[in-house]
Amino acid sequence: MEHLEELKTEIQHLIIRYLEGSISDKELSVLQEWLEASEQHFMLFDQLRRDWMKAGCFDRYATDRAWTKVEKRLKISTMVRRRRMWRRVAGWAAAVVLLVGIAYFAADFYREQKPSLAMHENIEPGSKKAILVLGSNEQVWLEENTDEALFEGDVAVKKEGNTLVYEDTLISDEVVEYNRLITPRGGEYSVILADGTKVWLNAESELKYPVRFTGNERQVYLKGEAYFSVTKREEQPFVVYSDKTKVTVLGTEFNIRNYAEEEMATTLVKGVVQVTHENGGECRLVPGQQAIVREEGIEVKKVEPVYYTAWKDGYFIYHEKSLDVILKELSRWYDFTYFYQNGDLGNLILTAKLRKFDRVDQIFEILSGTGHFEFATKGKTVTVLAK
């Protein structure tokens, strides 16, 4: 098949890099030209992207586990189980095999279905969903609005509505199990840690944390974005490690944003935090300040915190932000792919307040109200057109 042969060469690797979030601007332009060359290219890419996400490949989080799950979908069934053990597979090699395997699946799908059926998938707002990875590597799929005990042991974990709750324990054993909470594109979730600290995890993020806190510090590890409301313990500071940076607090509320290919930003709402970079840079923030971490140092500036924390309260608020910054965040939440008819459109500066659970057509209507551009939607692919 022509499209499959193309996927075995340069386009295959471009799609892999796109799905992993590592594609460069130049490579993205080549991929966009390939997509625009044929409606079948759009359809095949969209199916591959959706199968990639359904396979559990949340960008950098799970490429080494992806093939097992896809293999089950291809050979057995599409049934999703709440708990599942995935065997480990080599990373990049697995990604290549994964994409080729999905390509054959997609080819069969299009032979059996009318092309129009593939385009009926709507762009929907995100929801409360995540994957809990236990210390045993067992996967627990978390869905909306169910209360249950997930497991019992030295530490009890309960799911109350859309929040995981860890019970504190007096056990002093220094050997502590770590859990990971992973949100996909189009998902968000919250967790109350064993010390009472509450963490809201934004879309496409991961939080690694101990089931109970021991030692001199309460240490957690973040990829993506999260809002923290930290329980105060003067004798045991709370430390968030994110990439090459750590944020140290006693008791406070703050937001950390550290997505791939974006500058890390810590925004303080209450209390005091200390931001330290491995290059030696360091600063202390007071409420209303933001630290932006770069290799050359840390920049501190005054900001309005609500612009950076409204996501946890059901809004996206943008003040003089580029259209590309806005669409990058919206695409994580609504889970769509976007392209520009003209690359300069992404540089347009906008101010907007959006309700994150509104339909995407309402969101696009507000954004296009400037009169300079409009949106064309095909399945879950969005093209920004100049008016």
Distance CA 16, CA 241 (A): 28
Phi and psi at residue 265, to the nearest 5°: -135, 130
149: buried, middle or exposed (CB in 10 Å: 19+, 13-18, 0-12)? exposed
In the 3-class helix/strand/coil scheme, how is the chain assigned residue by residue? CHHHHHHCCHHHHHHHHHHHCCCCHHHHHHHHHHHHCCHHHHHHHHHHHHHHHHCCCCHHHCCCCHHHHHHHHHHCCCCCCCEECCCCCCHHHHHHHHHHHHHHHHHHHHHHCCHHHHHCCCCCCCEECEEEECCCCCEEEECCCCCEEEECCCCCEEEECCEEEECCCCCCCCCCCEEEEEECCCEEEEEECCCCCEEEECCCEEEEEECCCCCCCEEEEEEEEEEEECCCCCCCCEEEEECCEEEEECCCEEEEEECCCCCEEEEEEECCEEEEECCCCEEEECCCEEEEEECCEEEEEECCCHHHHHHHHCEEEEEEEEHHHHHHHHHHHHCCEEEECCHHHHHCEEEEEEECCCCHHHHHHHHHHHCCEEEEEECCEEEEEEC
Q: What is the pLDDT of residue 94?
A: 39
- Classify strands 297-302 and 289-294 as parallel, antiparallel or unpaired: antiparallel
Distance CA 129, CA 142 (A): 6
Q: What is the pLDDT of residue 136?
A: 82
User: Are residues 261 and 272 in contact, defined by beta-carbon separation less than 8 angstroms?
Assistant: no
Which residue do the tokens 């890099």 mark? 17
Domain 314-386 of CATH type 3.55.50.30: yes
**Domain residues of the chain, as ranges?**
2-119, 127-308, 314-386
CATH annotation of 127-308:
2.60.120.1440
Which residue do the tokens 């998938």 mark? 121
Phi and psi at residue 356, to the nearest 5°: -75, -10
Distance CA 346, CA 322 (A): 6
Distance CA 219, CA 346 (A): 38
Q: What is the pLDDT of residue 364?
A: 95
Q: What is the pLDDT of residue 64?
A: 37
10-residue mean pLDDT profile of the chain (387 residues): values are 48 74 75 71 67 50 39 32 30 38 39 34 87 86 73 72 82 75 95 96 96 91 97 93 91 93 93 90 94 91 96 95 95 94 90 94 92 89 92
Which residue do the tokens 């209360």 mark? 147
Distance CA 249, CA 228 (A): 10
Q: Estimate to the nearest angstrom the gap between the alpha carbon of 54 and the chain centroid.
A: 14
Fold match, 127-308 / 314-386: no
Q: What is the pLDDT of residue 384?
A: 95
Vertex 143, ends 139 and 145: CA angle to 5°? 140
Distances (CA, A) of 170 to 154, 173, 194: 10, 9, 11
Which residue do the tokens 């590890």 mark? 221
